[in-house]
Amino acid sequence: MDVAKPEAPRYGSDVMVDLMRGLEIPYVTLNPGASFRGLHDSLVNRLGAPEIILCPHEKLAVQIAHGYTKASGKTMAAVLHDTVGLLHGSLGIFNAYVDRTPVLVFGGAGPMDTTRRRPWIDWVHTSNIQGNAVRDFTKWDDQPASVAAMPEAFARARRVAETEPAGPVYIGLDADLQERRLEGPIEGIAWDRVGPASRMGADPAALATAVRALGDAARPLILASYAGRDPRAFGWIPTLAEVVGAGIIDMEDRLNAPNRHRLNVTESDAVADADVILLLDVKDASRFTMEVEQSTRNVRSRLAPGVRVIDIGFNELHTSSWSHHHGALPVTDIAITADTSVVLPQIIEQIQVLVAMDSPARAAEREARRGALAELHEQRLADWAAEAEKRRDERPVSPPRLAAEVWEAIRNYDWVLTAGTADGWATRLWDFDRPYRHAGKSLGTATQIGLSLGVALAHRDMGKLVVNLQPDGDLLFDAAALWIATANRIPMLVVMYNNRAYYNDWDHQIHMAKHRGSDLAKAHVGVAIEDPPPDFAALARSFGWHAEGPIEDPDAIGDAVRRAAKIVMEEGRPALVDVVCSHR
């Protein structure tokens, strides 16, 4: 909270910090760099400046901003060193783009005036158009040529980043402009007049057609992906499902619906049975509508003949000319480009009117459909519980036993799960009953610890227990991330899902060996993390964490997690429990 208005700006970097303040940026992550030494000084000394989160790597800086923004709904910023820092942070920027998360990335640049450069260092780190390095996976970039141009650049950055479909933007901040003493006042900007545009509505005729198709369906199904970026969808989607008698499949890019809701049939074969499928803010449905034979790459559809597909989302607005993250071209019968945050309440209102006119026979059919879906839901829960019990005493610890033990230890807290789900077992066995329980699944190796720290930062002062089921290979990419939690007072409970391997790739090698008749005994070569096995507890303790493990006895997990959770909540310290797990 600001205690006073900042003094009149004296340097360009003071203006930049005042603009960050105007954007209500709460934190900036950074790894220090000489190309933004002026900005750094202003961040440290100017009233109302965002709090600095010091990071040992630029990728982590962007990932923390990414995770924070997803979990809080407030856009955060990262500051990167000129060119080299931008290249280090580029993977984080790319993942924010793919994950449709607005992150403001600022970078030191130049000086572009060559007469103002220091010998060698300012030359080797300067690019003509710095944003070129990330232009293929940012929504917009700029490199203002004067301090007076900064207000518009900052305002546009937020507007572009937060206008849906959201994504990261980049602004290069010339080092000479940062350090230049101002000769007069800089005109401000009316922040309330330059905010993001209103959200996009649907074509009324197309929406009415979609509602009729959904209302006429005998076996409707909802596939939800990014709709859950608006927490209200957590209630809207189950309401729509109940009214129309539709199953829900949560694609887990965000948390879209309670996993224990009776119509939630995620991880079932309901896709193959559906006669109408409603896609809600889905970027690539193929991982649910198609199936592949891994070794041969042969792909075939899982959809029933004659199924009708309704697609409501941003569709081609997030299609890239460089990255194919948008997936295969979807086959749709009704495609509506609109924001589900606008459309979902409209669909519910219209479908309620339509269903109210059901004949008694049609109402009975709809209720029978709800009953069948509820039975399928309960059967899935029973199957998962049975498998977890069957694998209870496995050594190394099975993923379902790990998830079950952590759940029993944390279920009475107000908890938040970060990114990983222990190979899906957390979402099968835990009760995700609030929209903030999960910000969305992990984006792959070398992403989870950074995103998790961002989620934990978002909840740092809210009394919630933030839990990270952390893969071992991912943490090895970014082990120094553990230092960030301690140094920046970010409490988080990390439970290692430690299978001592990059097992996703091991699984691929197994497929290859079976397909080609190669030696299965060699499938682990180049993917196992066993010689030596990392001691993650010792590593965490070296950074000031409470840590226990490695734990190999499944009966010891629960007490260790309870001790760690207590320390996180009562002492505000990060804690890690290392559990040695099986590969699947």
Domain membership of residue 232 as a residue range: 204-382
Does residue 1 sit within a domain? Answer: no
Q: Is 86 in the same domain as 181? A: yes
188 and 219 in a common domain: no
- Domain identity same for 568 and 496: yes
Q: What CATH number corresponds to the domain at position 210?
A: 3.40.50.1220
CB of 526 closer than 8 Å to CB of 502: no
Question: End of a domain among 382, 411, 431?
Answer: 382
pTM: 0.96
Strands of the 546-551 sheet, one edge to the other: 415-417, 465-471, 493-498, 575-580, 546-551
What rounded mean pLDDT belongs to the chain?
95
Q: Flag whether 198 is in a domain.
A: no
Residue 382 and residue 515: Cα distance in Å, rounded? 34
Tell whether 182 is covered by a domain.
yes
Please indicate, yes or no, whether residues 189 and 286 belong to a single structural domain of this protein: no
Together in a domain, 445 and 572:
yes
pLDDT in tens, 318-359: 888 899 988 888 889 999 999 999 999 999 999 999 999 999
Classify residue 542: in a domain, yes or no: yes
d(CA 417, CA 184): 49
Residues 220 and 149 in one domain: no
Q: How many domains does the chain have?
A: 3
Report how far Cα 121 is from the mean position of its chain's Cα atoms: 36
**HSE-up (13 A, CA, CB side) for residue 144:** 25
Both 48 and 73 in a single domain?
yes
Tokens of 325: 């993250």
Distance CA 389, CA 569 (A): 30
Task: Please tell me the distance from the alpha carbon of residue 402 to that of residue 497, in angstroms, as a whole number.
Answer: 8
95 touches 447 (CB < 8 A): yes
User: 364 and 489 share a domain?
Assistant: no
For residue 78, the surrounding DSSP H or E stretch is strand 76-80
Which tokens hold the place of 60?
């982590």
Greater confidence (8 vs 314) lies with: 314
Q: How far is Cα 466 from Cα 439, in angstroms, rounded to an integer?
A: 11
Domain termination residue (choose one: 352, 382, 412): 382
CATH no. for residue 76?
A: 3.40.50.970
Rg of the chain, C-alpha, whole Å: 25
215 and 188 in one domain? Answer: no
| Token couple for 580 | 């040695």
User: Does some domain include residue 3?
Assistant: no
- 493 domain-assigned: yes
Task: Check whether 5 has a pLDDT greater than 70.
Answer: no
In the chain, what is the greatest distance between 2 CA atoms, to the nearest angstrom? 84
pLDDT class of 1 with cuts at 50, 70, 90: very low
The answer to whether position 317 is within a domain reads: yes
Q: What does the pLDDT look like over 162-178, one tens digit per residue? A: 999 999 999 999 999 99
- Asked, for residue 7, whether it belongs to a domain, the answer is no
Verify that 432 and 558 share a domain, yes or no.
Answer: yes
In this structure, the answer to whether residues 486 and 558 fall within a common structural domain is yes
> Is the per-residue pLDDT at 293 higher than 90?
no
Give yes or no: residues 558 and 484 share one domain: yes
Q: Which H or E run contains 495?
A: strand 493-498
Domain boundary among 382, 417, 446: 382
- Per-residue confidence band for 513, with pLDDT thresholds at 50, 70 and 90: confident
Q: For residue 584, how many other CB atoms are within 10 A of its CB?
A: 11
